[in-house]
Structure 1
Amino acid sequence: MATTKWAIDPTHSEIGFKVKHMMFTNVSGKFGAYDATIATEDDNFENASFEFSANIDSINTNNTDRDNHLKSGDFFDAENHPKLTFKASSFNKDGDDYELTGDLSIKDVTKSVKFPAEFSGLMKDPWGNTKAGLNISGKINRKDWGLNWNSALETGGVLVGEEVKLNIELQLIKL
């Protein structure tokens, strides 16, 4: 069977995350510059191959000082590690949904991760392009990748939560 290649439609996609701030509210952010290579053997995307990278310099939390701190050696160290990468080892149907498994590399640390994914199927847009929708969620502990910086609060607890919630909305376009 022929392999179909897909690209992320950046105008209809978002690579987002949330982290607790001061133990009680979430700060949201996203990556604005990223690249992906996605290939499928059939229309249900089972066993699709995914390779993804995001440019650390494109991180945006709507606060320049915070973004610069995230790019610094305290967190992502963008100067020495300009990208985070993900390479899937499997994309398998799990009931009505899917599970995406692969290696996530941040800085010089690579760890295997599993994320639930919803596949919305295929659709033609008004211009005749075939599109596919994927929502990938999940969470990671940032300390597993050496993103350890924190600050204690006078009231107890810490400034930045360890758990990072991922919310990735992808609209793919068939090449």
Structure 2
Amino acid sequence: MANVKWTVDPAHSEVQFKVKHLMITTVTGYFSSFNAEVETDGEDFTKASSIVFTADVDSVSTNNEQRDTHLRSEEFFDVSNHGQIKFVGNKYEETESGFAKLHGDLNIRGVSKPVTVNVEHHGIVVDPYGQTKAGFTIDGKINRKEFGLTWDAVTEAGNVVVSDEIRLHAEIQLVRQG
């Protein structure tokens, strides 16, 4: 089979993260500017030769401008020195459960660590405009401190303000190129 290139359809995709605040509620954040490029052998994603995802950190939004400014600062993402988050996949494997595992290296703030995320492939369809599209749901967890996101605060009662665990969630629609 021939190599097939896929790119993200940003109008039908979203990338978000969730973090516990004061350990009693969850705050959701989004990246509005991101890209994904995948190369597969035919339409078989288990034979992907290249999987690259990037998110522009400056596009982070939690629906609170003061918090978003703090996230862009040196205390968190340090946008002026580290403008992108990057994930490079190196193995996409089907599991017996019907879900897949995507293994790769995630780089945040210049720190790269191996990460595995769960992937649900929803299939491949041709849209009304003749474009071939593939849909995925991606879920995972990381420890923010492993990537240099070490800002901490504790309330007077001793409660942690921001949890270390960050839940990742993405709904991704890819468009076959060519």
Q: TM-score range by the shorter chain?
A: over 0.9
The letter for the 2-side match of 1:153 is: T
**Aligned-residue offset at 1:124:** 1.1
The letter for the 1-side match of 2:146 is: D
Q: SS at 1:73's partner residue?
A: coil
Q: Which runs of no fewer than 5 residues in structure 1 stay unpaired?
A: none
**Identical-pair percentage:** 45
The aligned counterpart of 1:28 is: 28
Q: TM-score, normalised by structure 2?
A: 0.96
Question: Residues of 1 paired with 2:134 and 2:33: CA distance?
Answer: 20
**Aligned-residue offset at 1:131:** 0.7
Question: Residues of 2 paired with 1:59 and 1:4: CA distance?
Answer: 31
Question: Residues of 1 paired with 2:95 and 2:159: CA distance?
Answer: 37
Question: Residues of 2 paired with 1:89 and 1:37: CA distance?
Answer: 13
The letter for the 1-side match of 2:161 is: L
Q: CA RMSD in A?
A: 0.9
Q: Which of 88, 108, 119 lines up with 2:110 in the alignment?
A: 108
The aligned counterpart of 2:60 is: 59
**Aligned-residue offset at 1:42:** 3.0
The aligned counterpart of 2:147 is: 145
**Aligned-residue offset at 1:35:** 1.7
The letter for the 2-side match of 1:61 is: T
**Aligned-residue offset at 1:154:** 1.7
Decide which moves more: 107-116 or 150-159.
150-159
The aligned counterpart of 1:77 is: 78
Q: Report 1:92-131 matches (<5 A).
A: 92-95=93-96, 96-131=98-133
Question: Residues of 2 paired with 1:42 and 1:160: CA distance?
Answer: 43
Q: Which runs of no fewer than 5 residues in structure 2 stay unpaired?
A: none
The letter for the 1-side match of 2:78 is: D
Q: TM-score, normalised by structure 1?
A: 0.97
The aligned counterpart of 1:15 is: 15
